Amino acid sequence: MDIERIRGFIMMTKTADKVALAGGGLVLQSVDRPKLGAVELGDAVLPHAVAEPLQLALGCTFSPELCAEAAKAIAASAYDSGLAFAGAVGCGIIRDPMSPSAAELFSEDPIVVAELLKGYTPVDGFGFVFTDCLGQERFVNRTVDSRALRELYLYPLIRSGMSAAALRLDGGYLNGERVCDSREVYRLLVDRIPPDAMVMTQYGDVPSAENMFGNGLYILGAPQSFKRDVLRDIAWGAVNESDVDGAIERTLAVAVKTHNLYGGAERIDFDGAEMPDITRDATVLLKNDGLLPAIGKRPTFFGDPARFGGAVYRFKDAVNACGSLNVFLVTDYENGGLSDELRSAVINVSTVAPVAVVFCGCCAVQFDLADRVNVVLFCPQSPRISELTAMLTDGEYSPRGHLPFTWSKSRADYPCNNKKFAPRGDFRYESMYNGYMLFNNFAYDVLYPFGHGLDYARYELSKLKLCSSGSKITVEFVIKNEGAYGGTALCQAYISLPGAPVYGISKRLAAFKRVALDPTENDKVTLEIDIDDFAVYNEEYDSFTAVGGKYVVDIGLSSVDLRLHGEIKVAAASRVAAGLNEKAAPSYFKAGKGGKFEPTAPEIERLLKVPFIKKAEIYPELSPPPAATVKKALKRADKWTGANVRQVVRYRICTTPVRNQPK
């Protein structure tokens, strides 16, 4: 990258043109002429080059290989279209699986997110915008301590490597400060991306001019009024023009890099790339009481005929048309739950005939009918009727997906939705215990655990062997299919550090691997765990420390279904990191399994190093848009969005604040 040439061009550029380059449209087209003066920024919405799968669907596959195939197909389309970016890839972690925005992220576990992100990068530094690095949603009241911020929320970005073409900042607030206005967050992030990668805000998030240029941000959808204000501040000396130069340097670097890539030989890497069919790999069989595979039976489907065609009856016809296997296709969730019409149909039919419920949506949902039905499936990559029929009735075509998040019984079980996690004030404290680490270590009874996924095989695990070398643990065991059908098992390794030297390392996923087995077949599985991946952030020294000691390794097929257990000593930098032992841990840590996760206000103040917010601040700029605006946008969106992403798009329209609505 000829950074000096870019800087020379910037010096010769008019001030007004510099400000225009620092904020504007959503698409950076590739440069098809050698002069930097030819850079043009469009005003269209950031495109997805092709009809790519939902990230949550790819998360259900637990397959970096399938992510790589999807990424190459997307990159090929972007390459042919002359776009600098092929689409946005969320590198945050899921905190609320019952929100439609969960569809835009891979998993609630940082290890899974990091591994899938690495598989999703077809060419280093090309094609993708890693977005929402701190997690899910625009939570004004999000509160994260230093350890959780670095070890969980930033970990996927750290582990996936310096490969982001651009980074879009999270749209929420952190400790009462907007992320795009936070110098601390910016400093943490830029160390994890290439020096020539763009740093962007969420659409319409306009920070103060000082922080915008000090952080080198590209403002997506900056209004003309904002640009006029910046020019005025420069004229009055309130903003230094040299800061503006730094803000557009990364933007121009991406344009030049894209131009150079298109002129090279890398295109051959994408030749013949096709989007993989991940429907079966992304379908998760959550419950099967022995009814499946329903060999010889013909399923009767109930749902939305407009979505699935004439082979589907309406819910109201269920009692009169029920057959030997009744399949209810759930595509729309009402206020976070099932519609009254669907509930009534399922209850009535389940008393007289077998029932299967298939969630063809982009997120989880509160589901209190699980005990009344025979089969439950989750299909974020919505299947065709023919594919679903095959998975239900063909023993050799069973679902292969696994749950990348914890499906709880109630949405209020997730800390980001429940005020009880902040006894005073109105914000949610997020700790080291997120997702399954929270549910498995405290008194929670979940519906379906993280990593869970059934098929028509039956697996046995045996002969566990552990050995360590330096900070690495090698795990070996044998898995055998003792069922009558072939299947694909997701082998998972979890680690714990007992004796409470450091809180937060308790049954954390350390490695995973998909293994396909025919009936009676067995295979030797080898997993490698690097303790450095679980290094603990020590705020006192602003550094990470790998902790040595006697680790417990659990092997199983979900975070709850653990079959093998072993212990091994690991030599690492430190036995106990200063300031991170039990004495420094919050009270909920000492409660242990069966206790309650209820941090106190003084503890939150101590962990955050900031005063506790006693009363929630009001952020009028984050108020929902007017009803008329929403109605108009929904009508327009229903015409151009595909069925599998419509729920996500509708959710975004209804929740995106007024100032961030595309014109």
Long-range contacts made by residues 579-585, C-beta under 8 angstroms, separation at least 24? 579/538, 579/539, 579/540, 580/147, 580/502, 580/503, 580/536, 580/538, 581/500, 581/501, 581/502, 582/500, 582/501, 582/503, 585/500, 585/503
- At 163 the pLDDT is 73
Q: Are 462 and 529 part of one and the same domain?
A: yes
Question: Does 288 share its domain with 249?
Answer: no
Beta carbons within 8 Å of 177's beta carbon, 6+ residues apart? none
Number of structural domains (the chain) is 4
Helix (H) or strand (E) holding 197: none
The CA R_g of the chain, rounded to the nearest whole Å, is: 25
369 in Cβ contact with 349 (< 8 Å): no
> b or e along 268-279 (b: 16 or more beta carbons within 10 Å of the residue's beta carbon)?
eebeebebbebb
pLDDT score of 45: 31
pLDDT at 660: 47
CB distance 420 to 375 below 8 Å: no
Residue 597 covered by a domain: no
Token pair for 456: 């028509």
- Inside any domain, residue 93: yes
Q: What CATH number corresponds to the domain at position 327? A: 3.40.50.1700
List the domain range (segments joined by +) for residue 638: 620-660
Q: Is residue 439 part of a domain?
A: no
What is the per-residue pLDDT for 419? 66
Q: CA 205 from chain center: how many Å?
A: 21
* pTM metric for this prediction: 0.90
CA–CA distance, 115 with 525 (Å, rounded to integer): 18
Determine the 3-state secondary structure of 235 from DSSP: helix
Give the domain-ending residue among 399, 420, 438: 399
Which domain-ending residue is among 224, 240, 266? 266
What local confidence, expressed as pLDDT, does residue 123 receive?
A: 62
Residue 278 belongs to some domain of the structure = no
In this structure, are 329 and 392 located in the same domain? yes
Q: For residue 422, give both structure tokens.
A: 């902040």
* pLDDT of amino acid 284: 98
Burial of 178-199, coded b for 16+ CB within 10 Å and e otherwise, reads bbbbbeebbebbbebbbebbbb
357 with 482, same domain: the answer is no
| Residue 26: predicted pLDDT | 45
Q: What is the CATH number for 16?
A: 3.20.20.300
Task: Note whether 576 and 655 are same-domain residues.
Answer: no
Residue 175: the pLDDT is: 65
Residues 261 and 357 in one domain: no
In a domain, 426, yes or no: no
- Same domain, residue pair 87 and 181: yes
Q: Do the beta carbons of residue 197 and residue 160 sit within 8 Å?
A: no
Residues 382 and 472 in one domain: no
Q: Are residues 262 and 307 in the same domain?
A: no
What pLDDT shows up at residue 215? 59
Q: For residue 502, what are the β-bridge partners?
A: none
462 shares a domain with 385: no
| Alpha-carbon span 407 to 98, nearest angstrom | 8
Ramachandran sector of residue 272 (left: φ over 0; alpha: ψ -120 to 50; beta: rest) = left
Identity of the residue numbered 21: L
Q: What confidence score (pLDDT) does residue 48 get?
A: 38
Q: Which residues of the chain have pLDDT under 50?
A: 25-26, 30-51, 423-426, 615-616, 660-663
Domain presence at residue 528: yes
272 is a domain residue? no
- Say if 8 falls within a structural domain: yes
Tell me the CATH number at 555: 2.60.40.10
Residues 262 and 292 both lie in one domain: no
DSSP 8-state secondary structure symbol assigned to residue 184 = H
Please give the Cα distance from 24 to 203 (Å, whole number): 10
214's tokens: 């000090």
Question: 241 and 369: one domain?
Answer: no
Give the residue from 363, 378, 399 where a domain finishes: 399
What is the model's pLDDT at position 509? 97
